[in-house]
Amino acid sequence: MKLLLSIYFFIIAIIQLGLLFGIYHYYRSQNLLRPNPYWMGSLLVSVLGLCIFGGGILTLNNIVKPDFNFTVANTLFVAAASLQALFCLSLNRPITKGLLRTFGISILLFGVVFEYFRLNGNFEIRTALVAFFYCLFYIWQIIELSKKRTQMPSSQLAYLQYASYGELFFALGRVVILVASTITITEMQQIPQTLILFTIAQLVMNTLSYIAIGGYWAEQIAKTNVQSTLENQEIKRLLAERETLISSLLRANKTASTGALSASIAHELNQPLGASSLNIQFLQKKLAAGELSPELQNEILNTLLADNQRAANVIRTLRSIFTDEKITTEKVDCGELIQTVLSIAKPELHAKNIQVVLRLEDSLYLSANRGELQQVVLNLVNNAIQALIPIERLDKQITIYGTHTDHGIEISVEDNGRGLSQEAEALLFELLSGTKKTGMGLGLWLCKHIITRYGGSIWFEVAPEGGAKFVFQLPTKLA
Ligand code: ADP
Protein backbone atom coordinates (compact mmCIF):
# COMPACT_ATOMS: atom_id res chain seq x y z
CA MET A 1 0.00 0.00 0.00
CA LYS A 2 2.75 2.45 1.08
CA LEU A 3 4.89 1.55 -1.93
CA LEU A 4 1.99 1.85 -4.34
CA LEU A 5 1.00 5.27 -2.98
CA SER A 6 4.52 6.64 -3.10
CA ILE A 7 4.92 5.32 -6.66
CA TYR A 8 1.80 7.31 -7.63
CA PHE A 9 3.40 10.47 -6.26
CA PHE A 10 6.72 9.79 -7.96
CA ILE A 11 5.04 9.11 -11.30
CA ILE A 12 3.17 12.41 -11.13
CA ALA A 13 6.41 14.16 -10.05
CA ILE A 14 8.21 12.69 -13.08
CA ILE A 15 5.42 13.79 -15.44
CA GLN A 16 5.47 17.32 -14.03
CA LEU A 17 9.27 17.43 -14.15
CA GLY A 18 9.18 16.37 -17.83
CA LEU A 19 6.67 19.13 -18.47
CA LEU A 20 8.87 21.65 -16.68
CA PHE A 21 11.98 20.69 -18.71
CA GLY A 22 10.10 20.49 -22.02
CA ILE A 23 8.51 23.88 -21.65
CA TYR A 24 11.62 25.52 -20.21
CA HIS A 25 13.58 24.29 -23.23
CA TYR A 26 10.89 25.63 -25.55
CA TYR A 27 11.05 29.01 -23.86
CA ARG A 28 14.81 29.18 -24.18
CA SER A 29 14.61 28.54 -27.91
CA GLN A 30 12.28 31.56 -28.19
CA ASN A 31 13.23 35.01 -27.07
CA LEU A 32 9.94 36.66 -27.79
CA LEU A 33 8.28 36.06 -24.43
CA ARG A 34 9.82 35.56 -21.06
CA PRO A 35 8.65 32.46 -19.18
CA ASN A 36 6.02 33.33 -16.59
CA PRO A 37 7.86 33.06 -13.25
CA TYR A 38 4.73 32.11 -11.24
CA TRP A 39 3.85 29.22 -13.42
CA MET A 40 7.43 27.89 -13.68
CA GLY A 41 7.85 28.43 -9.92
CA SER A 42 4.59 26.63 -9.18
CA LEU A 43 5.60 23.62 -11.27
CA LEU A 44 9.03 23.43 -9.66
CA VAL A 45 7.65 23.71 -6.13
CA SER A 46 4.99 21.12 -6.93
CA VAL A 47 7.62 18.62 -8.21
CA LEU A 48 9.66 19.14 -5.03
CA GLY A 49 6.57 18.66 -2.84
CA LEU A 50 5.61 15.46 -4.69
CA CYS A 51 9.11 13.98 -4.30
CA ILE A 52 9.30 14.80 -0.59
CA PHE A 53 5.77 13.50 -0.01
CA GLY A 54 6.41 10.30 -2.02
CA GLY A 55 9.65 9.70 -0.08
CA GLY A 56 7.87 10.52 3.20
CA ILE A 57 5.21 7.83 2.61
CA LEU A 58 7.91 5.19 2.16
CA THR A 59 9.43 5.93 5.59
CA LEU A 60 6.16 6.74 7.37
CA ASN A 61 5.66 4.93 10.69
CA ASN A 62 2.95 6.85 12.48
CA ILE A 63 0.18 8.43 10.42
CA VAL A 64 -1.13 10.41 13.42
CA LYS A 65 2.23 12.04 14.02
CA PRO A 66 4.29 11.85 10.80
CA ASP A 67 7.81 13.22 10.33
CA PHE A 68 8.65 16.90 9.72
CA ASN A 69 9.06 16.23 5.97
CA PHE A 70 5.24 16.10 5.72
CA THR A 71 5.05 19.72 6.93
CA VAL A 72 7.60 20.63 4.27
CA ALA A 73 5.79 18.71 1.49
CA ASN A 74 2.34 20.08 2.35
CA THR A 75 3.65 23.64 2.62
CA LEU A 76 5.21 23.20 -0.82
CA PHE A 77 1.88 21.93 -2.20
CA VAL A 78 0.04 24.98 -0.87
CA ALA A 79 2.84 27.25 -2.17
CA ALA A 80 2.49 25.63 -5.62
CA ALA A 81 -1.30 26.20 -5.59
CA SER A 82 -0.81 29.82 -4.51
CA LEU A 83 1.77 30.44 -7.27
CA GLN A 84 -0.66 29.01 -9.80
CA ALA A 85 -3.34 31.39 -8.52
CA LEU A 86 -0.82 34.23 -8.81
CA PHE A 87 -0.21 33.21 -12.41
CA CYS A 88 -3.96 33.52 -13.10
CA LEU A 89 -4.02 36.89 -11.34
CA SER A 90 -1.03 38.07 -13.39
CA LEU A 91 -3.14 37.57 -16.52
CA ASN A 92 -5.41 40.39 -15.38
CA ARG A 93 -3.14 42.79 -13.53
CA PRO A 94 0.47 43.22 -12.46
CA ILE A 95 1.48 41.49 -9.24
CA THR A 96 2.63 44.05 -6.70
CA LYS A 97 5.46 43.48 -4.23
CA GLY A 98 2.98 43.95 -1.37
CA LEU A 99 0.81 41.12 -2.67
CA LEU A 100 3.81 38.85 -3.05
CA ARG A 101 4.81 39.61 0.53
CA THR A 102 1.29 38.79 1.77
CA PHE A 103 1.45 35.50 -0.11
CA GLY A 104 4.84 34.63 1.31
CA ILE A 105 3.65 35.37 4.85
CA SER A 106 0.45 33.32 4.46
CA ILE A 107 2.43 30.32 3.16
CA LEU A 108 4.75 30.59 6.16
CA LEU A 109 1.74 30.83 8.47
CA PHE A 110 0.27 27.78 6.85
CA GLY A 111 3.55 25.95 7.49
CA VAL A 112 3.46 26.97 11.18
CA VAL A 113 -0.19 25.93 11.61
CA PHE A 114 0.42 22.62 9.81
CA GLU A 115 3.46 21.96 12.00
CA TYR A 116 1.31 22.62 15.08
CA PHE A 117 -1.27 20.11 13.86
CA ARG A 118 1.46 17.62 12.95
CA LEU A 119 2.60 17.64 16.56
CA ASN A 120 -0.80 18.06 18.24
CA GLY A 121 -3.52 17.23 15.72
CA ASN A 122 -4.47 14.20 13.66
CA PHE A 123 -4.59 13.00 10.04
CA GLU A 124 -8.14 14.27 9.42
CA ILE A 125 -7.49 17.84 10.65
CA ARG A 126 -4.32 18.15 8.59
CA THR A 127 -5.88 16.77 5.42
CA ALA A 128 -8.93 19.04 5.83
CA LEU A 129 -6.62 22.05 6.44
CA VAL A 130 -4.64 21.42 3.24
CA ALA A 131 -7.83 20.74 1.21
CA PHE A 132 -9.39 23.93 2.58
CA PHE A 133 -6.42 26.02 1.44
CA TYR A 134 -6.48 24.33 -1.96
CA CYS A 135 -10.17 25.19 -2.35
CA LEU A 136 -9.51 28.86 -1.55
CA PHE A 137 -6.81 29.12 -4.23
CA TYR A 138 -8.80 27.14 -6.81
CA ILE A 139 -11.89 29.37 -6.37
CA TRP A 140 -9.76 32.46 -6.73
CA GLN A 141 -8.04 30.97 -9.78
CA ILE A 142 -11.41 30.20 -11.41
CA ILE A 143 -12.66 33.77 -10.81
CA GLU A 144 -9.51 35.27 -12.35
CA LEU A 145 -9.70 32.92 -15.33
CA SER A 146 -13.35 33.81 -16.05
CA LYS A 147 -12.40 37.51 -15.94
CA LYS A 148 -9.56 36.99 -18.39
CA ARG A 149 -11.62 34.83 -20.73
CA THR A 150 -14.35 37.44 -21.07
CA GLN A 151 -11.71 39.91 -22.31
CA MET A 152 -9.69 37.47 -24.39
CA PRO A 153 -11.15 34.12 -25.38
CA SER A 154 -8.51 31.38 -25.33
CA SER A 155 -9.09 27.65 -25.68
CA GLN A 156 -6.08 26.90 -23.46
CA LEU A 157 -7.40 29.13 -20.67
CA ALA A 158 -10.74 27.35 -21.01
CA TYR A 159 -8.97 23.98 -20.48
CA LEU A 160 -7.18 25.47 -17.49
CA GLN A 161 -10.49 26.60 -16.04
CA TYR A 162 -12.02 23.13 -16.52
CA ALA A 163 -8.97 21.54 -14.89
CA SER A 164 -9.32 24.02 -11.99
CA TYR A 165 -12.98 23.02 -11.58
CA GLY A 166 -11.77 19.42 -11.47
CA GLU A 167 -9.13 20.27 -8.83
CA LEU A 168 -11.76 22.11 -6.77
CA PHE A 169 -14.21 19.22 -7.06
CA PHE A 170 -11.70 16.63 -5.85
CA ALA A 171 -10.33 18.86 -3.06
CA LEU A 172 -13.88 19.51 -1.79
CA GLY A 173 -14.60 15.79 -2.17
CA ARG A 174 -11.69 15.00 0.13
CA VAL A 175 -13.12 17.28 2.86
CA VAL A 176 -16.57 15.70 2.47
CA ILE A 177 -15.15 12.16 2.69
CA LEU A 178 -13.25 13.04 5.86
CA VAL A 179 -16.29 14.66 7.46
CA ALA A 180 -18.50 11.72 6.46
CA SER A 181 -16.04 9.10 7.73
CA THR A 182 -16.98 7.91 11.21
CA ILE A 183 -13.72 6.36 12.29
CA THR A 184 -10.56 8.14 13.40
CA ILE A 185 -7.71 7.16 11.11
CA THR A 186 -4.65 5.94 12.99
CA GLU A 187 -3.31 3.39 10.46
CA MET A 188 -2.43 3.68 6.80
CA GLN A 189 -4.85 0.85 5.98
CA GLN A 190 -7.76 2.84 7.45
CA ILE A 191 -7.51 5.59 4.82
CA PRO A 192 -10.67 5.22 2.69
CA GLN A 193 -10.02 4.10 -0.89
CA THR A 194 -12.18 6.99 -2.19
CA LEU A 195 -9.97 9.48 -0.33
CA ILE A 196 -6.85 8.07 -2.02
CA LEU A 197 -8.66 8.07 -5.36
CA PHE A 198 -9.73 11.70 -4.92
CA THR A 199 -6.21 12.73 -3.89
CA ILE A 200 -4.67 11.08 -6.96
CA ALA A 201 -7.44 12.53 -9.20
CA GLN A 202 -6.74 16.01 -7.80
CA LEU A 203 -3.05 15.58 -8.62
CA VAL A 204 -3.88 14.44 -12.15
CA MET A 205 -6.14 17.49 -12.60
CA ASN A 206 -3.34 19.62 -11.24
CA THR A 207 -0.94 18.18 -13.85
CA LEU A 208 -3.53 18.84 -16.56
CA SER A 209 -3.79 22.44 -15.43
CA TYR A 210 0.00 22.83 -15.79
CA ILE A 211 -0.24 21.38 -19.30
CA ALA A 212 -3.02 23.87 -20.14
CA ILE A 213 -0.90 26.79 -18.89
CA GLY A 214 2.01 25.53 -21.04
CA GLY A 215 -0.39 25.43 -23.99
CA TYR A 216 -1.53 28.96 -23.22
CA TRP A 217 2.05 30.25 -23.36
CA ALA A 218 2.73 28.37 -26.59
CA GLU A 219 -0.41 30.07 -27.95
CA GLN A 220 0.94 33.47 -26.83
CA ILE A 221 4.34 32.82 -28.41
CA ALA A 222 2.66 31.86 -31.69
CA LYS A 223 0.61 35.08 -31.59
CA THR A 224 3.70 37.18 -30.81
CA ASN A 225 5.52 35.47 -33.70
CA VAL A 226 2.80 36.48 -36.13
CA GLN A 227 2.74 39.99 -34.69
CA SER A 228 6.52 40.42 -34.85
CA THR A 229 6.52 39.23 -38.48
CA LEU A 230 3.92 41.88 -39.26
CA GLU A 231 5.89 44.48 -37.32
CA ASN A 232 9.05 43.50 -39.21
CA GLN A 233 7.29 44.01 -42.51
CA GLU A 234 6.02 47.39 -41.32
CA ILE A 235 9.52 48.43 -40.20
CA LYS A 236 10.96 47.36 -43.57
CA ARG A 237 8.29 49.37 -45.36
CA LEU A 238 9.01 52.44 -43.21
CA LEU A 239 12.76 52.08 -43.77
CA ALA A 240 12.25 51.90 -47.53
CA GLU A 241 10.02 54.97 -47.32
CA ARG A 242 12.68 56.77 -45.27
CA GLU A 243 15.38 55.94 -47.84
CA THR A 244 13.16 57.25 -50.65
CA LEU A 245 12.52 60.42 -48.67
CA ILE A 246 16.20 60.91 -47.95
CA SER A 247 17.21 60.39 -51.58
CA SER A 248 14.59 62.93 -52.68
CA LEU A 249 15.95 65.33 -50.09
CA LEU A 250 19.48 64.69 -51.35
CA ARG A 251 18.26 65.49 -54.83
CA ALA A 252 16.46 68.61 -53.59
CA ASN A 253 19.59 69.74 -51.81
CA LYS A 254 21.65 69.17 -54.91
CA THR A 255 19.19 71.31 -56.83
CA ALA A 256 19.44 74.00 -54.16
CA SER A 257 23.24 73.89 -54.31
CA THR A 258 23.02 74.00 -58.10
CA GLY A 259 20.91 77.15 -57.85
CA ALA A 260 23.32 78.82 -55.48
CA LEU A 261 26.31 77.90 -57.55
CA SER A 262 24.88 78.17 -61.04
CA ALA A 263 26.40 81.61 -61.49
CA SER A 264 29.85 80.27 -60.61
CA ILE A 265 29.40 77.29 -62.88
CA ALA A 266 28.35 79.47 -65.81
CA HIS A 267 31.32 81.72 -65.15
CA GLU A 268 33.70 78.77 -64.91
CA LEU A 269 32.47 77.32 -68.20
CA ASN A 270 32.20 80.66 -70.02
CA GLN A 271 35.87 81.41 -69.61
CA PRO A 272 37.30 78.46 -71.58
CA LEU A 273 34.42 78.53 -74.06
CA GLY A 274 34.86 82.28 -74.71
CA ALA A 275 38.62 81.88 -75.11
CA SER A 276 38.08 78.98 -77.55
CA SER A 277 35.64 81.04 -79.59
CA LEU A 278 38.16 83.91 -79.85
CA ASN A 279 40.93 81.52 -80.85
CA ILE A 280 38.78 79.90 -83.55
CA GLN A 281 37.91 83.33 -85.02
CA PHE A 282 41.61 84.22 -84.98
CA LEU A 283 42.44 80.93 -86.69
CA GLN A 284 39.80 81.53 -89.40
CA LYS A 285 41.15 85.04 -90.06
CA LYS A 286 44.73 83.84 -90.39
CA LEU A 287 43.67 80.97 -92.67
CA ALA A 288 41.72 83.36 -94.94
CA ALA A 289 44.70 85.71 -95.13
CA GLY A 290 47.06 82.80 -95.79
CA GLU A 291 49.23 83.92 -92.85
CA LEU A 292 49.19 80.72 -90.84
CA SER A 293 52.73 79.58 -90.03
CA PRO A 294 53.15 76.03 -88.65
CA GLU A 295 54.33 77.50 -85.25
CA LEU A 296 51.27 79.75 -84.94
CA GLN A 297 48.97 76.91 -85.98
CA ASN A 298 50.49 74.70 -83.29
CA GLU A 299 50.21 77.37 -80.65
CA ILE A 300 46.53 78.08 -81.39
CA LEU A 301 45.59 74.41 -81.47
CA ASN A 302 47.35 73.77 -78.12
CA THR A 303 45.49 76.66 -76.51
CA LEU A 304 42.20 75.33 -77.92
CA LEU A 305 42.94 71.87 -76.53
CA ALA A 306 43.80 73.28 -73.06
CA ASP A 307 40.56 75.32 -72.96
CA ASN A 308 38.59 72.31 -74.07
CA GLN A 309 40.11 70.22 -71.28
CA ARG A 310 39.38 72.94 -68.77
CA ALA A 311 35.69 72.95 -69.73
CA ALA A 312 35.57 69.14 -69.72
CA ASN A 313 37.12 69.15 -66.22
CA VAL A 314 34.48 71.51 -64.87
CA ILE A 315 31.72 69.33 -66.31
CA ARG A 316 33.26 66.10 -64.99
CA THR A 317 33.59 67.58 -61.50
CA LEU A 318 30.00 68.78 -61.48
CA ARG A 319 28.71 65.49 -62.76
CA SER A 320 30.28 63.66 -59.85
CA ILE A 321 28.34 65.89 -57.47
CA PHE A 322 25.01 66.39 -59.13
CA THR A 323 24.17 63.04 -60.64
CA ASP A 324 22.29 60.17 -59.00
CA GLU A 325 25.14 57.74 -59.14
CA LYS A 326 24.87 54.59 -57.06
CA ILE A 327 26.57 54.99 -53.68
CA THR A 328 29.88 53.15 -53.88
CA THR A 329 32.90 53.64 -51.68
CA GLU A 330 36.40 54.28 -52.91
CA LYS A 331 39.68 55.59 -51.54
CA VAL A 332 39.22 59.35 -51.25
CA ASP A 333 42.01 61.87 -50.80
CA CYS A 334 40.32 64.54 -48.67
CA GLY A 335 42.93 67.16 -49.62
CA GLU A 336 42.15 66.68 -53.30
CA LEU A 337 38.41 66.59 -52.60
CA ILE A 338 38.61 69.96 -50.81
CA GLN A 339 40.53 71.40 -53.79
CA THR A 340 37.78 70.17 -56.13
CA VAL A 341 35.09 71.81 -54.02
CA LEU A 342 37.10 75.05 -53.91
CA SER A 343 37.53 75.00 -57.69
CA ILE A 344 33.73 74.91 -58.01
CA ALA A 345 33.31 77.72 -55.51
CA LYS A 346 36.29 79.72 -56.83
CA PRO A 347 34.39 82.30 -58.91
CA GLU A 348 31.98 82.96 -56.03
CA LEU A 349 34.87 83.28 -53.56
CA HIS A 350 36.65 85.58 -55.97
CA ALA A 351 33.59 87.73 -56.64
CA LYS A 352 32.88 88.17 -52.93
CA ASN A 353 36.52 88.78 -52.14
CA ILE A 354 36.85 85.85 -49.75
CA GLN A 355 40.26 84.37 -49.00
CA VAL A 356 40.61 80.64 -48.40
CA VAL A 357 43.33 79.36 -46.11
CA LEU A 358 44.10 75.64 -46.14
CA ARG A 359 45.64 73.89 -43.14
CA LEU A 360 45.71 70.32 -44.35
CA GLU A 361 47.93 67.54 -43.10
CA ASP A 362 49.31 65.06 -45.63
CA SER A 363 47.65 61.79 -46.62
CA LEU A 364 44.12 62.49 -45.51
CA TYR A 365 42.80 59.25 -46.97
CA LEU A 366 39.35 57.78 -46.32
CA SER A 367 37.32 55.04 -47.83
CA ALA A 368 33.99 56.71 -48.63
CA ASN A 369 31.68 57.82 -51.38
CA ARG A 370 33.31 60.74 -53.10
CA GLY A 371 30.09 62.42 -54.24
CA GLU A 372 28.60 62.35 -50.73
CA LEU A 373 31.72 63.72 -49.04
CA GLN A 374 31.97 66.44 -51.65
CA GLN A 375 28.41 67.37 -50.92
CA VAL A 376 29.18 67.72 -47.20
CA VAL A 377 32.23 69.94 -47.78
CA LEU A 378 30.45 71.93 -50.49
CA ASN A 379 27.52 72.59 -48.13
CA LEU A 380 29.83 73.82 -45.39
CA VAL A 381 31.86 76.03 -47.76
CA ASN A 382 28.70 77.35 -49.37
CA ASN A 383 27.21 78.17 -45.93
CA ALA A 384 30.44 79.97 -44.97
CA ILE A 385 30.32 82.00 -48.20
CA GLN A 386 26.67 82.90 -47.59
CA ALA A 387 27.53 83.95 -44.04
CA LEU A 388 30.39 86.17 -45.24
CA ILE A 389 28.50 87.91 -48.09
CA PRO A 390 26.71 90.52 -45.93
CA ILE A 391 29.84 91.26 -43.89
CA GLU A 392 31.52 94.64 -44.37
CA ARG A 393 35.07 93.68 -43.38
CA LEU A 394 37.91 93.47 -45.89
CA ASP A 395 39.63 90.34 -44.62
CA LYS A 396 36.79 87.86 -45.17
CA GLN A 397 38.30 84.47 -44.71
CA ILE A 398 37.43 80.79 -44.72
CA THR A 399 39.92 78.41 -43.13
CA ILE A 400 39.74 74.70 -43.81
CA TYR A 401 41.56 72.33 -41.48
CA GLY A 402 42.24 68.66 -42.14
CA THR A 403 43.93 66.61 -39.44
CA HIS A 404 44.46 63.02 -38.42
CA THR A 405 42.93 62.07 -35.07
CA ASP A 406 43.13 58.90 -32.96
CA HIS A 407 39.97 57.57 -34.59
CA GLY A 408 40.22 58.85 -38.14
CA ILE A 409 40.15 62.16 -39.92
CA GLU A 410 38.76 65.52 -38.82
CA ILE A 411 37.84 68.25 -41.27
CA SER A 412 36.62 71.69 -40.24
CA VAL A 413 35.40 74.72 -42.13
CA GLU A 414 35.74 77.98 -40.23
CA ASP A 415 34.73 81.49 -41.24
CA ASN A 416 35.19 84.91 -39.69
CA GLY A 417 31.59 85.96 -40.17
CA ARG A 418 29.06 86.88 -37.47
CA GLY A 419 28.50 83.33 -36.29
CA LEU A 420 25.16 82.02 -35.15
CA SER A 421 22.41 83.26 -32.89
CA GLN A 422 21.64 80.99 -29.93
CA GLU A 423 18.26 79.94 -31.31
CA ALA A 424 19.78 79.06 -34.71
CA GLU A 425 22.48 77.08 -32.92
CA ALA A 426 19.96 75.03 -30.98
CA LEU A 427 18.23 73.81 -34.16
CA LEU A 428 21.23 73.72 -36.50
CA PHE A 429 21.14 70.13 -37.62
CA GLU A 430 17.35 69.85 -37.57
CA LEU A 431 15.48 69.42 -40.81
CA LEU A 432 14.10 72.65 -42.38
CA SER A 433 15.67 74.87 -39.72
CA GLY A 434 17.36 77.35 -42.06
CA THR A 435 17.19 81.10 -41.56
CA LYS A 436 18.29 82.11 -45.04
CA LYS A 437 15.70 83.37 -47.48
CA THR A 438 17.11 81.24 -50.28
CA GLY A 439 18.06 78.14 -48.26
CA MET A 440 15.81 75.26 -47.31
CA GLY A 441 17.39 74.36 -43.99
CA LEU A 442 18.36 71.06 -45.54
CA GLY A 443 22.12 71.27 -45.95
CA LEU A 444 23.31 70.67 -42.40
CA TRP A 445 20.67 68.05 -41.74
CA LEU A 446 21.88 66.13 -44.78
CA CYS A 447 25.53 66.62 -43.79
CA LYS A 448 24.67 65.06 -40.44
CA HIS A 449 22.77 62.25 -42.11
CA ILE A 450 25.70 61.41 -44.42
CA ILE A 451 28.35 61.68 -41.71
CA THR A 452 26.48 59.63 -39.11
CA ARG A 453 25.70 56.97 -41.71
CA TYR A 454 29.46 56.54 -42.06
CA GLY A 455 29.79 56.20 -38.27
CA GLY A 456 31.19 59.74 -37.86
CA SER A 457 29.96 62.88 -36.13
CA ILE A 458 29.50 66.54 -36.99
CA TRP A 459 29.20 69.52 -34.68
CA PHE A 460 29.32 73.28 -34.43
CA GLU A 461 31.88 75.38 -32.56
CA VAL A 462 32.29 79.10 -32.14
CA ALA A 463 35.38 80.10 -34.14
CA PRO A 464 38.14 82.08 -32.30
CA GLU A 465 37.05 85.34 -33.98
CA GLY A 466 33.40 84.72 -33.22
CA GLY A 467 32.50 83.24 -36.60
CA ALA A 468 31.15 79.74 -37.23
CA LYS A 469 33.22 76.58 -37.31
CA PHE A 470 31.72 73.30 -38.48
CA VAL A 471 33.74 70.21 -37.67
CA PHE A 472 33.19 66.66 -38.80
CA GLN A 473 35.04 63.56 -37.92
CA LEU A 474 35.05 60.31 -39.85
CA PRO A 475 36.59 56.98 -38.91
CA THR A 476 39.31 55.91 -41.35
CA LYS A 477 37.63 52.54 -41.74
CA LEU A 478 34.09 53.60 -42.45
CA ALA A 479 31.11 51.64 -41.20
P1 ADP B 1 20.14 76.35 -45.58
O2 ADP B 1 21.50 76.81 -45.88
O3 ADP B 1 19.45 75.64 -46.66
O4 ADP B 1 19.28 77.36 -44.87
P5 ADP B 1 21.54 74.66 -43.70
O6 ADP B 1 21.07 73.46 -42.97
O7 ADP B 1 22.72 74.51 -44.55
O8 ADP B 1 20.30 75.19 -44.49
O9 ADP B 1 21.84 75.77 -42.62
C10 ADP B 1 20.91 76.04 -41.61
C11 ADP B 1 21.12 77.41 -41.02
O12 ADP B 1 22.32 77.44 -40.26
C13 ADP B 1 21.29 78.50 -42.07
O14 ADP B 1 20.06 79.02 -42.51
C15 ADP B 1 22.09 79.54 -41.28
O16 ADP B 1 21.22 80.34 -40.51
C17 ADP B 1 22.89 78.72 -40.31
N18 ADP B 1 24.29 78.59 -40.75
C19 ADP B 1 24.85 77.52 -41.37
N20 ADP B 1 26.17 77.73 -41.60
C21 ADP B 1 26.45 78.95 -41.09
C22 ADP B 1 27.65 79.76 -40.98
N23 ADP B 1 28.84 79.31 -41.45
N24 ADP B 1 27.54 80.98 -40.38
C25 ADP B 1 26.35 81.42 -39.90
N26 ADP B 1 25.21 80.72 -39.96
C27 ADP B 1 25.23 79.51 -40.54
For residue 258, pLDDT beyond 60: no
Burial of 431 (0-12, 13-18, 19+ CB in 10 A): middle
Strand extents, DSSP E, 210-279: none
With a 6 A CB cut-off, is 424 part of the ligand 1 pocket? yes
Span from the CA of 463 to the centroid of ligand 1 (angstroms): 15
| Average pLDDT of the residues in 427-450 | 68
| Average pLDDT of the residues in 119-124 | 90
Span from the CA of 203 to the centroid of ligand 1 (angstroms): 75
With a 6 A CB cut-off, is 442 part of the ligand 1 pocket? yes
> In the Cβ-directed half-sphere of 8, how many Cα atoms lie within 13 Å?
14
Helices (H), 323-421: 334-351, 370-388
Share of the chain above pLDDT 90, in %: 42
Higher per-residue pLDDT: 271 or 93: 93
For residue 117, pLDDT beyond 90: yes
Residue type present at position 234:
E
Give me the pLDDT at residue 224, please.
Answer: 76
Cα separation of 244 and 248, whole Å?
6
Angle, alpha carbons 355-357-360 (nearest 5°)? 160
The model's pLDDT over 331-341, given as tens digits with 9 standing for 90+, comes to 999 999 999 88
Residue type present at position 461:
E
Cα separation of 381 and 270, whole Å?
23
Nearest to 185 by CA among 44, 66, 45, 37: 66
35 confidence band (pLDDT: 50, 70, 90): low
With a 6 A CB cut-off, is 433 part of the ligand 1 pocket? yes
Span from the CA of 438 to the centroid of ligand 1 (angstroms): 11
With a 6 A CB cut-off, is 431 part of the ligand 1 pocket? no
Beta bridge pairs of residue 404: 409
The model's pLDDT over 348-380, given as tens digits with 9 standing for 90+, comes to 888 889 999 999 999 999 988 887 888 899 889
Chain mean pLDDT for the chain:
84
Cα separation of 75 and 189, whole Å?
25
The model's pLDDT over 268-308, given as tens digits with 9 standing for 90+, comes to 676 678 778 888 888 888 888 888 788 888 888 878 887 78
Cα separation of 381 and 385, whole Å?
6
Nearest to 332 by CA among 285, 373, 366: 366
Span from the CA of 444 to the centroid of ligand 1 (angstroms): 7
Cα separation of 368 and 474, whole Å?
10
Give me the pLDDT at residue 413, please.
Answer: 97
Give me the pLDDT at residue 479, please.
Answer: 45
Cα separation of 294 and 292, whole Å?
7
